Structure 1
């Protein structure tokens, strides 16, 4: 295909790719760490007006925010890296069982892979959110997008508290966990109807019930796997 100008009129790609050099890397970093778009803009908007921001992302503009799945994976990775460097507590999901079991292994995997673990937890929270806010027109996947952003900010909050704990040895991570739940309830409630107190209350129950359901699900799956292996012995 013959191309005139700097970009292909068919696919929009540049006619000639620029060579990767120091300036290219600097531009890429700047584009990510940018208050007009990118990761810092996403964090700022989700901290100030989460409900409005996610509604706009779903219905109007999907270019300025970091993609939701990537956002939760990046924020969870930040938490995991800081936990490894600063050696603060095991995590905001902690399960102890003196007896080796499949459930123990599963929870350990979640603690070491928060990005994927949060996505799975988000599915359970989304189901309860959809149930409690059933009169609204948002589908399950749109609610899941909301939760990716909300839980991503939650991991940023935990990262900040965890880093502070690791540097000062003050046990503050539990307060970060409480703030995580408060923020999640506020953000979800604001997304649906920020003018009604009932929205925030339902958001709180959706989040907590989602976590409980997720944890019970892991325990049940672990128990069934252990039972199957025990019967097969």
Structure 2
């Protein structure tokens, strides 16, 4: 181990045992060796701690979403986990749960369509349908294999739609909407994770997660814009979700057609 009388990062002298962090660079002093005690301490304070960490942020996001959004936007972020970390963790959780419990991919875009079922279609039409279904399966497989990346790719677009719809209403800039959109997406993943565990009694978890996520997101924005007209906030939020749904579906469709043409 290094000399604990100096900061291991910038070599500044440690003033005493009461100093926990270097005032120059923020490095913890002293730097502890990684052992089981260290790992247990990190788990407690980064995940399980009741007044900060991932579980605390998730609890606040689901029970008091409007207040959490307001605190984060206004700068009260000391106890909150970063939105990017939250969305990455929860996307991994929902993918893992879906794989262990359901045993299928996250997305089912094909909808079970069988091109061979079109008995009255011409041979050319059947060939086109078969090519489209093959391209659709390829797109679906890519999304399932890169679900977290796909989610992050859609975030800027969804934030753009919300920013445009609420531009003259909430006076929030685009980066602020990016943060809000990320947190609302985390809500969807939490709901989806719960539904996956209940999939024996609640089929079509993807559909229900999307529907409940929209409802929860609308309610969260109503709470955030407290003091404003509930109806004004609601119709704007619903419009934003509808427009984003159309755009994202069009993107998947365009990718499918492009892949079909390339093949």
- State the TM-score, normalized to the length of structure 2: 0.77
Query: In structure 2, which of residues 96, 106, 123 is the aligned counterpart of residue 81 of structure 1?
Result: 96
Tell me whether 67-76 or 112-121 shows the greater mean CA deviation.
112-121
Post-superposition Cα deviations, 1:106-127, rounded to whole Å, max 9, x if no partner, equal: 3322233332222222222212
Q: Tell me the distance in 1 between the aligned counterparts of 2:209 and 2:259.
A: 34
Q: Tell me the distance in 2 between the aligned counterparts of 1:107 and 1:69.
A: 24
Post-superposition Cα deviations, 1:54-112, rounded to whole Å, max 9, x if no partner, equal: 12112222231111011111111111101111126643x421165311x5423322233
1:16 maps to which residue?
30
Q: CA deviation at 1:152?
A: 0.8
Query: In structure 1, which of residues 171, 175, 198 is the aligned counterpart of residue 203 of structure 2?
Result: 171
**Shift in CA distance, 34/172, structure 1 to aligned 2, threshold 3 Å:** farther
Q: Which structure 1 residue ranges, 5 or more long, are not aligned? A: none
2:234 maps to which residue?
200
Query: In structure 1, which of residues 69, 83, 90 is the aligned counterpart of residue 84 of structure 2?
Result: 69
Q: Which structure 2 residue ranges, 5 or more long, are not aligned? A: 1-10, 114-129
1:160 aligns with 2:189: no
Query: Following superposition, which runs of at least 4 residues in structure 1 exceed 3 angstroms of deviation?
Result: 88-91, 174-177, 192-195, 224-227
Q: Tell me the distance in 2 between the aligned counterparts of 1:179 and 1:62.
A: 27
Please identify which structure carries the higher helix content. Answer: 1
1:189 aligns with 2:203: no
2:51 maps to which residue?
36
2:123 maps to which residue?
none
1:4 maps to which residue?
14
Alignment of 1:73-112 (within 5 A): 73-87=88-102, 90-91=105-106, 93-96=107-110, 98=130, 99-101=133-135, 103-112=136-145
1:139 maps to which residue?
173
- State the TM-score, normalized to the length of structure 1: 0.86
Instruction: Select the structure with the greater relative contact order (CA < 8 A; seq sep ≥ 6).
Output: 1
Q: Tell me the distance in 1 between the aligned counterparts of 2:222 and 2:149.
A: 24
**8 Å CA contact 2:195, 2:202 repeated in 1:** no
Q: How many residues align?
A: 225
Post-superposition Cα deviations, 1:164-220, rounded to whole Å, max 9, x if no partner, equal: 11xx35426243332122112222333344642220221122123212201202322
1:151 aligns with 2:166: no
Q: CA deviation at 1:226?
A: 4.1
Post-superposition Cα deviations, 1:104-162, rounded to whole Å, max 9, x if no partner, equal: 42332223333222222222221221111011321112111111111112111111111
Q: Tell me the distance in 2 between the aligned counterparts of 1:190 and 1:107.
A: 35
Q: Which structure is larger by alpha-carbon Rg, 1 or 2?
A: 2
